[in-house]
Every structure is written in C-alpha cells, then in structure tokens.
Chain A
C-alpha cells in the first residue's frame, strides 16, 4: 500500500515554492500518492505568470546566485515534474473567488475544490505538511 502525503501551500514566495515542490516531487518519486492544496498566496505557486518569477523574501535576494550555482531546477520545471509523476494540484475555490481568478489562469491539469476536497484526501494521509 502506498503512503499518502497531503500538503497545504499557503504562501507565495520562492522559498515556499521550493519547500512545497521539493517535498512533493521527492514523495512522488518514492511512490507516494501526493496532493497539494493551494490556498491564498499559495495559489501563486501554480499561477501561469506568477510562478515564473516568485519573489525572494525581502533581504534575501542575494540567494539568487546560490540557486543558480546549486543548479536548482526552476519552479516551472518542478511543477511540470510533479505533475508528470501524478501529484494532484487542488486550487482553493474560495481564494480564487476572492481574488477574481479563473481556473485557466493556472497551470493545466489542476483541480479546483473547497476545503473538503482536500480534507477528503488528507483524512487518511500518512504525512501532512503545511507551508
């Protein structure tokens, strides 16, 4: 039986994106079933435009060089990889309504749902993480 990993992405910075997608791809590569619920600023992480240039935390901009040097994959690459490995992306309907965003503003293949959609998945998850 495979392990289930449920992740909540609630923040929209570059660091947050790496935390979310590194864990998600690593879990998927380990044959875990993974779902990520993107809510509030977390939606930036899968927004077609926003996710191309997510902000570094203020005062930490100098890490940009480190990212380049460490040959860390870009967020769009990680998103693509996660999807290829079957990670489920759930966009939070309520946040989308509040922000006036439609499903087509986001990368292809996401589901849109409410809290219960995520909870249904998370209720028997072995690992639950919030970023």
Chain B
C-alpha cells in the first residue's frame, strides 16, 4: 500500500482536467511527497504517466477500484528523494582488455532483445533496462557487475536502479557495444 500525502478528487472529469488539476495540486506538495489522483477518465493513466515523465515527477503506479483509477505520483521523483548514486565507469578499452584476458567477469547487457541477439559478449547476462528493476534478483548484490548497453546511457540508468536496490559493486562500461570491436556471439 502506497502512503499518500494528498488526495486529489478528479472523478467525473474529462481530459484535460485531471492533468490540469494534478498540476495545480502538485504545486502545494513538497518534494518526495506522494499525490494520489482519483479519476474516472480512462485516458488519465497514459496522460499522467507522460505528464510525470515530462515534468520530472515519478509515476508510482495505478490501482483500479471499479470505475475509479487511483494514480500515485511522487513529486520530483527519485531525484529529490535521493541523489542518484555515482556509478564508477570503466572505459570500453580497459574493459575489453579484461574480457580478452579471460577474466571471470559478470557482465550485464541491458539492451533490448533484438540488439542483444544481434551480437553480445560471450557470457553476458541479458536483462533489458525496462525489466532490470523486477529481475535484478537474478544477480547477486555483493558481486562485481559490469553493466553495458549500446552507448553507456541505459547501462547507467540500470546501474542507478540497481544501486538503489542495494547492489554494491557496479561498474558502467562507457561507451558500450556501439564501439565494441572484440568478439561477439
């Protein structure tokens, strides 16, 4: 159950009113507080997600009760609640050396399935960025994990997510597979 600090009743209102009301209500909240928006507009789920994304708030989810959708948003999202962890980086070059020296590395590839299938480093574990939060349990929290993607951006986001979940030894490979010249499978 999500703890809410403020409940906004937008039931019976049509687009764009739930968004307009949310925007107004959000102003009175403090960073990190959670706003619950009760709406009956079926489009509000997609709208609020998009709105949260573009205005820097965190969309926590939606619960449905009969006709009423209960949306939860955290003001200013994760940025305000906690500074993002600094993820150490390794250059692709140094990383390649380690791979080619035959070191026993745990490599997490967070690209999409088609990118992964097109070519990845032998032994790399595949969890696309969107699934990292749910599936990180497949990895060990105290293990040294090299996170890689196409350019280094998604891998950083994935590492941020995992750091929040308590993974202690994450290294972001920068850039990523885009510039990889070594062997792939």
Contacts and interface: CB of A to CB of B under 8 A. Distances in A.
Interface of A: 3, 22, 25-26, 29-31, 70-73, 81, 85
A72 B20 contact: no
Interface stretch (B10-18, B112-120, B157-165): B10-18
16 contacts: A25-B16, A25-B19, A25-B20, A26-B15, A26-B16, A26-B47, A29-B20, A29-B51, A30-B19, A30-B55, A31-B54, A71-B12, A71-B13, A73-B13, A73-B17, A85-B20
A66 B47 CA distance: 21
Contacts of B16: 22, 25-26, 29
Main secondary structure of the interface of B (DSSP, over half): helix
A22 B55 contact: no
A71 B22 CA distance: 17
A29 B51 CA distance: 8
B14 A29 contact: no
B23 interface: yes
A11 B54 CA distance: 30
A98 B66 CA distance: 54
B55 A72 contact: no
A30 B51 CA distance: 6
A85 B128 CA distance: 39
In which size bucket is the chain B interface? 10 to 19
A70 B13 CA distance: 7
Main secondary structure of the interface of A (DSSP, over half): loop
A82 B72 CA distance: 25
Contacts of A26: 15-16, 19-20, 47
Interface string B1-42: 000000000001111110110110000000000000000000
Nearest to B20: A29
A33 to B, nearest CB: 13
B54 A30 contact: yes
Given A29-B20, A29-B22, A81-B20, A72 B54 contact: no
B2 to A, nearest CB: 23
A9 B103 CA distance: 64
Nearest to A27: B16
